[in-house]
């Protein structure tokens, strides 16, 4: 506290000296009056005691490695840190021999960070051991997967549905997997998994994302280099789900459905035409103000990112076809 007060007085004195050299002769009397009321003893105290070396240096200076390791090993034996630190600080203030590293800020931060990591790692490991994993299910489309997205939907209090969309760059097909899970006493069990395969025709898939629990959004390119956006309901009569056999690596057993002709295609406006490589979708948000549904597209240069507000009839139309 004394150092802070002395520093404030020293700062005022230094400001006075600067003003005196920069002021005109007409202001000399006013500056002289300020100098007369200044506490010069604190200025001298700061210069003699704190200017070149501060009492808090002991908490920030360099520590020999042997002192660091010795103090670390000492507190690792199980001593309570706060009482030990308080005792060492009192010894240091009294001029007695004390542990240098223990009262150092860098040492304390490093020690607390290490123990925090140990505690959180232990909690994570305990949580991991308490999780019961079921048998894994391998999803395959017979080709190297280049597009993937997943959506978990709550069907009821004790049942849920997991939708997974997969696609390969070498084909113009989209595979939607539907897995139903039952939840009993907090433990889930997977039931049968079905698959739907949708043929995009002459379109090439760029990206696919689940918009919500009912709709899948597809961004495709056409032969005329135009980018189109399609909204595909996950449950509709035109898309046929059949039983999926994880033992078959290819997609020969999948029933291929043509893309329904009644789905509206939304073409990017000519002034915003781009070659997207990735998409993100966002549902409606009602916070401070209403934010509408939108899709965000990343251009192939990886620098331009554009967001497009969706027409209201896009998701409404998907919902009607779903119903």
Work out the percent of the chain whose per-residue pLDDT is above 70. 84
Mean pLDDT calculated for residue range 279-283: 88
Which residue, 120, 114, 135, 184, is CA-closest to 156? 184
> What distance in Å separates the CA atoms of residue 11 and residue 8, rounded to the nearest whole number?
5
The pLDDT-based confidence of 318 (bands split at 50, 70, 90) is very low
Pairing of strands 159-168, 145-156: antiparallel
Is pTM beyond 0.75? Reply is no
The pLDDT-based confidence of 316 (bands split at 50, 70, 90) is very low
Work out the number of other CB atoms within 10 angstroms of the CB of residue 166. 22
pLDDT of residue 25: 60
SS (H, E, C) the chain: CHHHHHHHHHHHHHHHHHHHHHCCHHHHHHHHHHHHCCCHHHHHHHHHHHCCCCHHHHHCCCCCHHHHHHHHHHHCCCCCHHHHHHHHHHHHHCCCCCCCCCCCHHHHHHHHHHHHHHHHHHHHHHHHHHCCCCCCCCCCCCCCEEEEEEEEEEEECCEEEEEEEEEECCCCEEEEEEEEEEEECCEEEEEEEEEEEEECCCCEEEEEEECCCCEEEEEEECCCCCEEEEEEECCCCCCCCEECCCCCCCCCCCCEEECCCCCCEEECCHHHCCCEEEEEEECCEECCCEECCEEEEEECCCCCEEEEECCHHHHHHHHHHHC
Place of tokens 């076809």: 321
pLDDT of residue 54: 66
Q: Which long-range contacts (CB under 8 A, 24 or more apart) does 89-92 make?
A: 92/58
Mean pLDDT calculated for residue range 8-18: 80
Structure tokens at 145: 């997967």
The answer to whether residues 49 and 7 touch, using CB atoms and an 8 Å cutoff, is no
Mean pLDDT calculated for residue range 1-26: 74
pLDDT digits (tens, 9 = 90+) for 84-97: 888 888 887 777 77
The answer to whether residues 254 and 195 touch, using CB atoms and an 8 Å cutoff, is yes
pLDDT digits (tens, 9 = 90+) for 234-271: 888 888 888 888 776 555 556 777 887 777 788 888 88
Mean pLDDT calculated for residue range 37-66: 74
Which residue, 152, 264, 160, is CA-closest to 213? 152
């Amino acid at each position: 506290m004394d150092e802070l007060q002395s520093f404030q007085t020293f700062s005022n004195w230094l400001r006075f000296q600067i003003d005196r050299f920069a002021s005109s002769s007409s202001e000399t009397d006013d500056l002289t009056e300020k100098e007369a009321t200044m506490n010069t003893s604190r200025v001298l105290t700061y210069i003699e005691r704190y200017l070149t070396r501060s009492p808090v240096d002991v908490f920030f200076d360099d520590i020999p490695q042997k002192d660091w390791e010795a103090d670390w090993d000492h507190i690792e034996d199980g001593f309570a840190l706060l009482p030990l630190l308080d005792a060492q600080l009192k010894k240091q203030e009294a001029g007695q021999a004390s542990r240098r590293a223990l009262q150092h800020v860098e040492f304390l931060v490093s020690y607390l960070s290490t123990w925090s990591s140990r505690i959180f790692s232990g909690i994570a490991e305990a949580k991991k051991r308490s999780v019961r994993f079921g048998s894994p299910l391998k999803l395959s489309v017979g080709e190297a997967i280049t597009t993937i997205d997943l959506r978990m939907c709550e069907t009821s209090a004790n049942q849920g549905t997991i939708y997974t969309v997969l696609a390969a760059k070498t084909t113009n097909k989209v595979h939607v997997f539907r897995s139903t899970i039952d939840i009993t006493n907090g433990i889930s069990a997977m039931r049968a998994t079905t698959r739907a395969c949708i043929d995009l025709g002459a379109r090439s898939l760029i990206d696919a994302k689940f918009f919500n629990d009912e709709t899948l959004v597809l961004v495709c390119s056409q032969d005329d280099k135009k980018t189109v956006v399609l909204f595909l309901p996950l449950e509709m009569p035109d898309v046929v789900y059949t039983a999926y056999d994880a033992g078959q690596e290819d997609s020969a057993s999948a029933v291929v459905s043509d893309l329904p002709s009644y789905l509206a295609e939304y073409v990017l406006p000519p002034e915003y035409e781009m070659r997207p490589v990735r998409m993100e979708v966002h549902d409606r948000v009602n916070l401070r103000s209403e934010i509408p549904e939108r899709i965000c597209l990343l251009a192939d240069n990886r620098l331009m990112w554009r967001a497009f507000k969706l027409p209201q009839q896009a998701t409404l139309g998907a919902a009607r076809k779903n119903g």
